[in-house]
Structure 1
Amino acid sequence: MAVHIRIHAPPMSAQFASPPPMPLPADKGQLLARLVDGLDSHALWWLSGYSAGLAAKPAQHGVATSAPQQSPAALATIVFGSQTGNARRIAERLAADIERSGGAVRLVRADAYPLRELKTERLLYVVISTQGEGDPPDDARAFVEHLAGKRAPRLDDLRFAVLGLGDSSYPQFNAVGRLLDQRLAALGAQRLFARGEADLDIGTVADPWLQQAVERARELEPKPVQRASVVPLRHAAVKVHDRDHPFAAELLANQRITARDSDRDVRHVELSLEGSGLDYEPGDALGVWPRNAPALVDDVLDTLELDGESPVTVSDETLTLRTWLESRRELTRLARPFVARHAAVSGQGALNRLLAPEQAESLRGLLESHQVIDLLRAWPARWDADDLVAALRPLTPRLYSIASSRKLVGEEAHLTVARTAWDAFGRSHVGAASGFLAAAGEDSRIPVFIERNERFRLPADASRDVIMIGPGTGVAPFRGFLQERAAIGASGRHWLLFGNPHFRSDFLYQVEWQEALREGRLDRLDLAFSRDQADKIYVQDRLREHGRELHAWLEGGAHLYVCGDASRMARDVEKALLAILAEHAATDHDGASERLEALRREGRYARDVY
């Protein structure tokens, strides 16, 4: 179907003041200016750490440098693994708190951590999330595998603490954090204090864990440690608008891009960032703070016979019960802690039995199929307003891959949003954020922030080829990729693999891809519409069909990207990639796994899965 997308001129280049005087010769100053031009805050912090590492080394090549100095406090290394940004934010907060207390600290993303340095560490904090069925984040795979493997060194001189982040709705809640905590201890390291296991209401566990981490770092004696590298990953300045201080973005467009007879309601959403100071790169996500539908809030209030205007105070903040339920508490995602609390309040034996360990699968089915209102109706109980707000989990933002490049759309961010909706238990259900965005009308204001995704970046070398695998709404970031590469005149080739149920009704951005093919901005497009023939065809099937060409692109230096569903699609695509590498590189499964992991380490295999 035709999709009309407004085209905008790129913004004017920003003007920068002259740099302050520096102790460098003129020619070196010019080289420095060229080097830092266009770098973001993460790259600038990395560069500063690299320079500091060079300065800390003994004199080389006739350059006089000072010897390593003893730190004012024990040098803490913070390693984080993050899929959606929560672990990164907690780790950055810990680094800032330790620095404010007078300590020395370095902050390292897990895939940038030099594993050879592990045996020389003295104080290590690990902040890591668990994904899906107990998997580590993509950026922490090598770190976790190294620690769990035979090559991990003895760590008798190391003191450590682990903070795990997860979702108790999943059976393998915080499995990665537990694994690392137990493995570090088994390798001889001394646990400073108990492992933290944070649920979606992260602060409840993270805040006291952070306080302990700062206190212990301050208490420990300083020990000079010679390191080969320093890899900080920090924002250079506090953002005006962030997760806790979102920007109210004006809604510019909200257009359905699936056919009316499609069973999927997918929207193209355009938001204005004008005046926000927010910036993003292709691959980043937009965080959206949703509001629960008023009708859903009314259902909860009516079912519990509660007055929505009743005042409720939490942490010295007093709001009406209705306000808490609309904008501060999760109603569309059911979690185990609330089920346990409701079982206690209701006294329902059947519900209590679901919480037994042997009923894990049945409980999981309940969490996936029921919203809070369904639980309240199926197992009636009397709640008062204060206890209800205390028991419900805090509402959390949802992240959407940005489907645009600022070089084309200017002060805007575009999203591709699938409205989640289904009927069950005699009522209609809708996802909090997707329903909120789909219902947003003209002049609506949407609270948003930018979530950086440094692991999902286009190659710096614009001559590199790019392979993009994005079925369904997973195609969103690749719209931004293609816009960006066209804007900079990239000479590398572009190959997109897209899939959905039906060609006629579900071909997202069909006109744009066809125009890109005609104009040479897209070199290859392979499609997999699973329900248009007797045998279902998915993107992983197309990969296998064109395995020889895919392998040739990779051998030629191509970067490979996957975006979309983590539970099935991403796993099936990875299996297909392993089979292709094994066949066309004439190796076995282990060799293919090593090759794929090497591509990941090189930054040539990146995933944005959810």
Structure 2
Amino acid sequence: MKLQVINSPFNEEQVKLLNELLPKLTTEQKIWLNGYLSAPLATLEANEEQPTPAAQPITQTMTILYGSQTGNSQGLAEKYAAALKAQHVEVTISSLGKFKATNLKKITNLLLIVSTHGEGDPPDQAIQFYEFLHSKRAPKLEHLQYSVLALGDSSYEFFCKTGKDFDEQFAKLGATRMVPRTDCDVDYDDAAAQWFSAVQQKFLQQATAVGSTSTSNEDTQLLEESTYSRKNPFYAEVLENLNLNGRGSNKETRHLELSIEGAHFHFEPGDSIGILPENDEQLVHTLLAALQFNPETEVTVFEETVALRDALQKKLEITVLSRPLLEKIGAYTEHQQFLKLFEEPNAWKGYAKGRDLLDVVKDFAPFTWSAQQFVEMLRKIPARLYSIASSQKANNEEVHLTIGKVSYETAGRKRLGVCSGSVAERVQIGDTLPIYVHKNPNFRLPENEDTPIIMIGAGTGVAPYRAFLEEREELGIEGKAWLIFGDQHFVTDFLYQTDWQRWLASGTLSQMHVAFSRDTDQKVYVQHKLQENAASFYEWLEQGAVIYVCGDKQSMAADVDATIHHIIEQQGQKTPEEAKIIVNELKQQKRYQRDVY
């Protein structure tokens, strides 16, 4: 196509220049140029009070599915959906729990954002979709193009396994990758943003209508955090730091009250606060001495040059040994005992449990690394998430947390949790902690105030229930609410005892059962109290109750889950297979919500 000077707003010289340029432009460049030129034109027309132009045509359709246990995947899905909609893409967004797997036949473009839970498991709400896709009932998907963003934690052996499984299975079913899968560690912001940028570039190139592949200023704002976040934390002053356990307890549980005045945080019961911790200064000092490195040596970490001491204390994880990390370390030693860690399938696990980098340096020296090579093996210190133990409606300028101190001994050395140890032993009233709000839409009070709630938790797992009941008290709700709480000893470990008693007296909490495992010869846990009250539990289920479970995943939550299955079998006269179906339905309906770790 050649531009003619007749009826053209350009003079002959401009027409000549345009005719020389246009044939040399790619389709992508033409699309970009069109968007670039149309933006100021639209502004000009608006200023001249011209009639509102018709909306730009939809360029493509996109389905975004997410599988989320703690809300990360859902948050990213919603953010990316908003960005695509702003670029005139027709977007459908859904959790894997609500999406009918058979509808895969009806869509052509798919983004899947999914986390991995525990030791390689799909999130609760993604289980049925996962099982369907890996079954013989899964459809052929030659018509589908897709991309997977996998969230995970590299300290686990099966890092991002759920995302990897989905990616491989979609390919096996004939689907085409739009862009390659990205596997994100706990500090996922940058990697996720790069993945979505690649998706945008690839997807919008295929647009049939004229549009811009670059993001306008308005769209860019949609992708940026508008408030404090993990990358831009709020420094909250410590107002209170109390030990909730009585004298003689085997535990130390801190009740932390933080000022959030000026943060403009907005959170709901069930959400968490992320704390960005630092490593213990003495541990860093001892590690540097063992490494025989100068603490002032400059190293580059995450595109920033800092002193080695500061990098190890404030930026890098030094207390967790994962297989990927040990494999990287193996490149810098020929120590035969170290190499034996990988000869047996689980040998490395036996060594890594309870140990840290200081153990490796002391046990297997010498190493051939430089300070820069050493820090390049390490990942960022992950934020620590703690369930909010207060209602913002009741405490607008404060947030309360319940933090159990992690303390143990391995190989003759006392170890402390990075964050919990700091809170218990070093954080004083008046200090500040870098924090941000972490939304968890999968652990929420029911919208209908009359819906009964059953709250099950042990130890610090009781924290969100304090927020639940404080919220209900503030709203004047006196519906059916049942708490089942467990810990070691009644006298020393009955966390927030006066709060529960007050709410029982006022009607905010209608009933409570407690299990203190060390007060009797026979250990009694929350699942035993659940079984003792099986008939009432099933009756509440029949009335539409929502079940909440919070706490340790490996023991408490697993035992509670088995007990719930058993009660449904027993009280409902169901087979194990029927009980499993019912429990899955409860999860899909968000009537069985878990915040387990």
Q: TM-score range by the shorter chain?
A: 0.7 to 0.9
User: Is this contact kept in 2: 1:283–1:481, CA < 8 A?
Assistant: yes
Q: Which residue of 2 aligns with 1:323?
A: 310
Q: Which residue of 2 aligns with 1:480?
A: 467
The match for 2:286 among 293, 299, 304 is 299
The match for 2:575 among 588, 603, 608 is 588
Quote how far apart the aligned CAs of 1:206 are. 4.4
| 1:338 aligned counterpart, secondary structure | helix
User: Is this contact kept in 1: 2:156–2:322, CA < 8 A?
Assistant: no
Alpha-carbon distance between aligned partners in 1 of 2:379 and 2:465, rounded to the nearest angstrom: 33
Quote how far apart the aligned CAs of 1:128 are. 1.2
Q: Which amino acid aligns with 2:330?
A: A
User: Is this contact kept in 2: 1:501–1:529, CA < 8 A?
Assistant: yes
Q: Which residue of 2 aligns with 1:504?
A: 491
Q: State the identity as a percent.
A: 38
Q: Which residue of 1 aligns with 2:478?
A: 491
Q: Please tell me whether residue 366 in structure 1 is matched to residue 360 in structure 2.
A: no
Alpha-carbon distance between aligned partners in 2 of 1:238 and 1:342, rounded to the nearest angstrom: 36
Q: Which residue of 2 aligns with 1:108?
A: 94
Q: Which residue of 2 aligns with 1:128?
A: 114
Alpha carbons of structure 1 residues 97 and 372: separation in structure 2 relative to 1, 3 Å: farther
Matched residue count: 531
Q: Please tell me whether residue 428 in structure 1 is matched to residue 420 in structure 2.
A: no
Q: Which residue of 2 aligns with 1:401?
A: 387
Q: Which amino acid aligns with 1:436?
A: S
Alpha-carbon distance between aligned partners in 1 of 2:191 and 2:431, rounded to the nearest angstrom: 35
Alpha carbons of structure 1 residues 150 and 361: separation in structure 2 relative to 1, 3 Å: same
User: Is this contact kept in 1: 2:406–2:421, CA < 8 A?
Assistant: yes
Alpha-carbon distance between aligned partners in 1 of 2:449 and 2:78, rounded to the nearest angstrom: 31
Q: Which residue of 1 aligns with 2:592?
A: 605
Q: Which amino acid aligns with 1:327?
A: K
Quote how far apart the aligned CAs of 1:243 are. 1.4
User: Is this contact kept in 2: 1:171–1:364, CA < 8 A?
Assistant: no
CA offsets per residue over residues 381-433 of structure 1, 9 Å max, x none? Answer: 34422112211111111100000111222211100000101122232211111
Q: Please tell me whether residue 530 in structure 1 is matched to residue 544 in structure 2.
A: no
Q: Which residue of 1 aligns with 2:206?
A: 220
Alpha-carbon distance between aligned partners in 1 of 2:270 and 2:193, rounded to the nearest angstrom: 30
Alpha-carbon distance between aligned partners in 1 of 2:518 and 2:378, rounded to the nearest angstrom: 39
User: Is this contact kept in 1: 2:69–2:442, CA < 8 A?
Assistant: no
Larger Rg: 2
Q: Which residue of 2 aligns with 1:379?
A: 364
User: Is this contact kept in 1: 2:70–2:441, CA < 8 A?
Assistant: no
Alpha carbons of structure 1 residues 222 and 364: separation in structure 2 relative to 1, 3 Å: farther
Q: Which residue of 1 aligns with 2:327?
A: 340
The match for 2:169 among 183, 186, 198 is 183
Alpha-carbon distance between aligned partners in 1 of 2:453 and 2:169, rounded to the nearest angstrom: 38
Quote how far apart the aligned CAs of 1:585 are. 1.0
Alpha-carbon distance between aligned partners in 1 of 2:351 and 2:117, rounded to the nearest angstrom: 20
Alpha carbons of structure 1 residues 102 and 465: separation in structure 2 relative to 1, 3 Å: closer
CA offsets per residue over residues 514-536 of structure 1, 9 Å max, x none? Answer: 22222322211111111222222
Quote how far apart the aligned CAs of 1:193 are. 4.2
Q: Which amino acid aligns with 2:507?
A: G
User: Is this contact kept in 1: 2:290–2:361, CA < 8 A?
Assistant: yes
Quote how far apart the aligned CAs of 1:211 are. 4.0
Alpha-carbon distance between aligned partners in 1 of 2:366 and 2:190, rounded to the nearest angstrom: 26
**Paired residues for 1:63-102 under 5 Å:** 71-72=58-59, 74-92=60-78, 94-95=80-81, 98=84
CA offsets per residue over residues 164-220 of structure 1, 9 Å max, x none? Answer: 222333333322122212222232322334433334454686465444323321233
User: Is this contact kept in 2: 1:94–1:214, CA < 8 A?
Assistant: no
Q: Which residue of 2 aligns with 1:118?
A: 104
**Paired residues for 1:433-472 under 5 Å:** 433-438=419-424, 439-472=426-459
User: Is this contact kept in 2: 1:103–1:217, CA < 8 A?
Assistant: no
Alpha carbons of structure 1 residues 109 and 550: separation in structure 2 relative to 1, 3 Å: same
Extract unaligned runs of 5+ from structure 1.
1-67, 224-233
Alpha-carbon distance between aligned partners in 1 of 2:72 and 2:357, rounded to the nearest angstrom: 24
User: Is this contact kept in 2: 1:560–1:604, CA < 8 A?
Assistant: yes
Alpha-carbon distance between aligned partners in 1 of 2:308 and 2:513, rounded to the nearest angstrom: 51
Quote how far apart the aligned CAs of 1:75 are. 2.2
Alpha carbons of structure 1 residues 418 and 401: separation in structure 2 relative to 1, 3 Å: same
Alpha carbons of structure 1 residues 201 and 249: separation in structure 2 relative to 1, 3 Å: closer
Quote how far apart the aligned CAs of 1:71 are. 2.6
User: Is this contact kept in 1: 2:178–2:203, CA < 8 A?
Assistant: no
Alpha carbons of structure 1 residues 201 and 240: separation in structure 2 relative to 1, 3 Å: closer
Quote how far apart the aligned CAs of 1:580 are. 0.4
Alpha-carbon distance between aligned partners in 2 of 1:474 and 1:513, rounded to the nearest angstrom: 15
Alpha carbons of structure 1 residues 567 and 385: separation in structure 2 relative to 1, 3 Å: same
User: Is this contact kept in 2: 1:471–1:564, CA < 8 A?
Assistant: yes
User: Is this contact kept in 2: 1:171–1:360, CA < 8 A?
Assistant: no
The match for 1:249 among 236, 239, 248 is 236
Alpha carbons of structure 1 residues 170 and 550: separation in structure 2 relative to 1, 3 Å: same
Q: Which residue of 2 aligns with 1:228?
A: none
Alpha-carbon distance between aligned partners in 2 of 1:315 and 1:331, rounded to the nearest angstrom: 16
The match for 2:299 among 296, 312, 322 is 312
User: Is this contact kept in 1: 2:274–2:383, CA < 8 A?
Assistant: yes
Q: Which residue of 2 aligns with 1:174?
A: 160
Alpha-carbon distance between aligned partners in 1 of 2:345 and 2:399, rounded to the nearest angstrom: 41
Quote how far apart the aligned CAs of 1:448 are. 0.6
Alpha-carbon distance between aligned partners in 2 of 1:137 and 1:192, rounded to the nearest angstrom: 24
Q: Which amino acid aligns with 2:503?
A: A
Alpha-carbon distance between aligned partners in 2 of 1:444 and 1:91, rounded to the nearest angstrom: 36
Quote how far apart the aligned CAs of 1:98 are. 4.9
Extract unaligned runs of 5+ from structure 2.
1-54, 210-220
